[in-house]
């Protein structure tokens, strides 16, 4: 199973013609079905997708509907265990707390790969690797 970062979900709904290749790739990733998410990722998606300044913003109802549909995938809750693991990963790797929480949510779900364009693909995060699914787009 692969853990999906927020940017994958945002590209999946993008109507920006310049992002069409990324939108196709993001939807392929989701259609494969072997992905996991976290409450953090779903919250970030909601905030960014409904942001008034977003050119192709969606409504509250649309965002909630999509989140409901994506809950068919395993979703890692935000827990004290996750938070403490993210603190340690943040300290060990010198990354932002929220990025560390993404990595640790994936680990808790049993994933070994995080799909993201925002994290360093060259770093081994204690057995978790990062793959940018858009690198060839």
Distances (CA, A) of 40 to 4, 16, 101, 102: 11, 25, 8, 8
Q: What is the pLDDT of residue 16?
A: 94
Q: What is the pLDDT of residue 43?
A: 98
- pLDDT of 4 strictly over 70: yes
- pLDDT of 45 strictly over 70: yes
In a domain, 46, yes or no: yes
In a domain, 84, yes or no: yes
Give mean pLDDT, residues 8-15: 97
Domain CATH number, residue 106: 3.40.50.1010
Question: Which DSSP string do the residues of 24-47 spell out, in sequence order?
Answer: HHHHHHHHH--EEEEHHHHHHHHH
Give mean pLDDT, residues 99-112: 97
Q: What is the pLDDT of residue 124?
A: 93
What is the pLDDT confidence band of residue 132, given thresholds at 50, 70 and 90? very high
Number of structural domains, the chain?
1
Distances (CA, A) of 36 to 4, 20, 28, 106: 6, 23, 14, 7
Classify residue 133 as exposed, middle or buried by CB count within 10 Å of its CB (0-12, 13-18, 19+).
Answer: buried
User: What b/e sequence results for 113-130 when a residue is b if at least 16 CB atoms lie within 10 Å of its CB, and e otherwise?
Assistant: bbbbbebeeeeebeebeb
What is the pLDDT confidence band of residue 31, given thresholds at 50, 70 and 90? very high
Per-residue model confidence as pLDDT tens digits over 48-57: 999 999 999 9
In a domain, 136, yes or no: no
The residue range of the domain holding 43 is 2-131
In a domain, 137, yes or no: no
- pLDDT of 137 strictly over 60: no
């Amino acid at each position: 199973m692969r853990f999906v970062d927020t940017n994958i979900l945002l590209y999946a709904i993008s109507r920006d013609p310049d992002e069409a290749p990324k939108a196709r790739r993001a939807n392929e990733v989701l259609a494969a079905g072997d992905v996991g998410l976290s409450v953090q990722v779903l919250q970030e998606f909601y905030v960014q997708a409904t942001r008034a300044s977003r050119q192709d913003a969606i409504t509250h109802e649309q965002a909630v509907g999509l989140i409901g549909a994506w809950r068919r995938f395993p979703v890692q809750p935000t827990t004290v265990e996750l938070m403490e693991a993210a603190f340690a990963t943040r300290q060990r790797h010198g990354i932002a707390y929220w990025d560390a929480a993404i990595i640790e949510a994936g680990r808790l779900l049993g994933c070994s790969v995080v799909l993201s364009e925002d994290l360093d693909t060259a770093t081994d995060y204690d057995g978790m690797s990062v793959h940018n699914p858009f690198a060839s787009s």
